[in-house]
Amino acid sequence: MVNRMQFYIDGAWVDPANKKTAWTLNPATAEEMYEVALGSKADVDKAVIAARRAYESFSQTTRKQRMSILASIIEIYKGRAKEIGDSISDEIGAPLSMAEQKQAGSALAQLATTLDVLKNYPYEERIGSTLVVREPIGVVGMITPWNWPINQIACKVAPALAAGCTMILKPSEFAPTCALIFAEILHEAGVPKGVFNLINGLGPEVGAAMSEHRAIDMISFTGSTRAGIDVASRAALTIKRVSQELGGKSPYIVLDDADLEKAVSKCIATLFLNSGQSCDAPSRLIVPSSKMTEVARIAKTIADTYRVGHPRAAGIQMGPVVNRGQWAKIQDLIKKGIDEGATLVTGGPGLPEGIDKGFYVRPTIFADVKNEMTIAREEIFGPVLAIIGATDESDAIRIANDTPYGLAGYVFSGSTERARNVGRFIRAGAIYLQGGSLDSSAPFGGYKQSGNGREWGRFGLEDYLEVKSVAGSIESNKS
């Protein structure tokens, strides 16, 4: 039985400093499932004391010791992956098979990749007579989102452990269970007490206390750009490092020599995965203006085949969005698209046909969208596609970059070389050509208001390290 009424601090499950709870709803039914304890600044202070104390010894562990810990976590995680996937399906509404395979599976990939990086990472190097040493940054505060909850936990916790840091995690209150299971896994794996601490809570209380805390050396945050600005502002008071993966409004450029059926199908499949609730979702489909009618027809045909329903029902491709607030936001943006003059191709406001409860959104396609429209500017975080016309390749690149975001960009062409050349001009942290996907050891992160810093693989590990120069002829003794 997962313990939702206590926090994991200093190697033990403890009661919150104050009694405050929130209900977790099932987005498929809009019904209450269970209560979760919410933390306060007092809980953060307690966790920071434990993490600072643990840092003294954990920062001095050897590479071999940390490799052993990660290997144990991986083995125990494998036995509980299905349980984690089930909890994610219940709490955010992802179809069960997707939650078990992609959501739970992504965290396992992050853990395994970090272990591989740790085996050979060069913590020391010589530059002339100077020894350059990479050391753990210290105590890390981690704030993670609900949309890919266990993936974002793993891609922070794994490299922090590999670096020798200690940490305090605040997972999303909308998807708390996978984090609690993960805490149990780390405990069973023998992570020393105080190294990993978990406090459930709200951003304005626990998140703010962590961001401002003088004894926390770094904040790693994944979430909205609005919340990221608040985190960075609070963290600036103590000049701590802030690594952020924020929002996106990613363009999907289809060039005039592309196979339209294949390109549009890939775009919609990527966008509709997780009900559109992915930061790098390609929500702006940029196509030659002369092919707008044909692209809209193809998009409608594909979108109309999507089976929307209860995440545990057989054959379902799309479940609900996470909560009532998210559903209402998406409905408002769909209405704005209509009011501002975009052509509604399929979908639209309201619940899908045959569904009378839960937070389900109709798969929605807009054509004839101008990049100045609200649905082309704001992150919708739902299954809503805006098709935008471009006069030529240069215009498509201009439209793609005409956004405050820069998390991802997609290019589809009849020629991979041409797609690659266009991709070079897109200002974003990840470029996907011809429907490809990133290797789990490649860096992931954004330009502009999509954040700073990088996660995954070697680049993720380096976010948790400080660089020290030691002058003179000094022998290396790092193990």
Distance CA 384, CA 375 (A): 9
The phi-psi region of residue 392 (left if phi > 0; otherwise alpha if psi is between -120 and 50; otherwise beta) is beta
Find out whether 272 and 306 touch, Cβ atoms under 8 Å.
yes
**Counts for the chain of helices (H) and strands (E), in that order:** 15, 22
Distance CA 382, CA 445 (A): 21
Find out whether 220 and 143 touch, Cβ atoms under 8 Å.
yes
**Quick one: average pLDDT of 23-34?**
96
Model pLDDT for residues 278-294, shown as the tens digit of each residue? 999 999 999 999 999 99
Confidence band of 140 (pLDDT split at 50, 70, 90): very high
Out of 91, 212, 245, 455, pick the active-site residue. Answer: 245
Q: In sequence order, what DSSP letters do the residues of 107-169 get, joined into one string?
A: HHHHHHHHHHHHHH---EEEETTEEEEEEE--EEEEE--SSSHHHHHHHHHHHHHHHT-EEEE
Distance CA 223, CA 236 (A): 18
Find out whether 429 and 245 touch, Cβ atoms under 8 Å.
no
> Is residue 247 over pLDDT 70?
yes
- pLDDT given for residue 476 in this prediction: 52
Entry pTM:
0.95
Give the torsion through C-alpha atoms of 97, 98, 99, 102, to 10 deg. 120
Find out whether 433 and 419 touch, Cβ atoms under 8 Å.
yes
**Quick one: average pLDDT of 224-246?**
96
**Quick one: average pLDDT of 11-39?**
96
User: Does 245 participate in catalysis according to the annotation?
Assistant: yes
What count of other Cβ atoms lies within 10 Å of the Cβ of residue 150?
Answer: 29
Model pLDDT for residues 410-465, shown as the tens digit of each residue? 999 999 999 999 999 999 999 999 999 999 899 999 999 999 999 999 999 999 99
Distance CA 194, CA 420 (A): 46
Pairing type for strands 284-288 and 343-346 reads unpaired
Q: In sequence order, what DSSP letters do the residues of 325-389 get, joined into one string?
A: HHHHHHHHHHHHHHHTT-EEEE--SSPPTT--SSS----EEEEEE-TTSHHHHS---SSEEEEEE
Find out whether 143 and 208 touch, Cβ atoms under 8 Å.
no
- pLDDT given for residue 477 in this prediction: 53
**Average pLDDT score over the chain:** 96
The tokens for 376 are 């082309």
Model pLDDT for residues 101-138, shown as the tens digit of each residue? 999 999 999 999 999 999 999 999 999 999 999 999 99
Among 443, 378, 55, smallest CA distance to 247 is for 378
Among 410, 405, 400, smallest CA distance to 448 is for 405
The phi-psi region of residue 94 (left if phi > 0; otherwise alpha if psi is between -120 and 50; otherwise beta) is beta
Out of 165, 178, 267, 279, pick the active-site residue. Answer: 279
CA dihedral sign, ordered 92, 94, 95, 98:
negative
**Quick one: average pLDDT of 56-74?**
98
**Quick one: average pLDDT of 366-384?**
98
What count of other Cβ atoms lies within 10 Å of the Cβ of residue 417?
Answer: 8
- pLDDT given for residue 1 in this prediction: 78
Among 148, 265, 166, smallest CA distance to 464 is for 166
The tokens 């070389």 sit on which residue? 417
Distance CA 186, CA 73 (A): 6
The values of phi and psi at residue 215, to 5°, are -100, 10
Model pLDDT for residues 77-102, shown as the tens digit of each residue? 999 999 999 999 999 999 999 999 99
Confidence band of 474 (pLDDT split at 50, 70, 90): low
Q: At how many degrees (to 10) do helices 177-188 and 63-92 cross?
A: 150
**Quick one: average pLDDT of 342-353?**
97
Strand partners, 367: 343
**Quick one: average pLDDT of 325-353?**
98
SS3 sequence of 195-248:
CEEECCCCHHHHHHHHHHCCCCCEEEEECCHHHHHHHHHHHHHHCCEEEEECCC
- pLDDT given for residue 96 in this prediction: 97
Model pLDDT for residues 153-210, shown as the tens digit of each residue? 999 999 999 999 999 999 999 999 999 999 999 999 999 999 999 999 999 999 999 9
| More reliable by pLDDT, 1 or 144 | 144
Confidence band of 475 (pLDDT split at 50, 70, 90): low
User: Which domains can be identified in the chain, with CATH numbers?
Assistant: 7-246+450-470 (3.40.605.10), 251-433 (3.40.309.10)
Percent of the chain with pLDDT over 90: 98
Among 343, 350, 245, 277, smallest CA distance to 98 is for 277
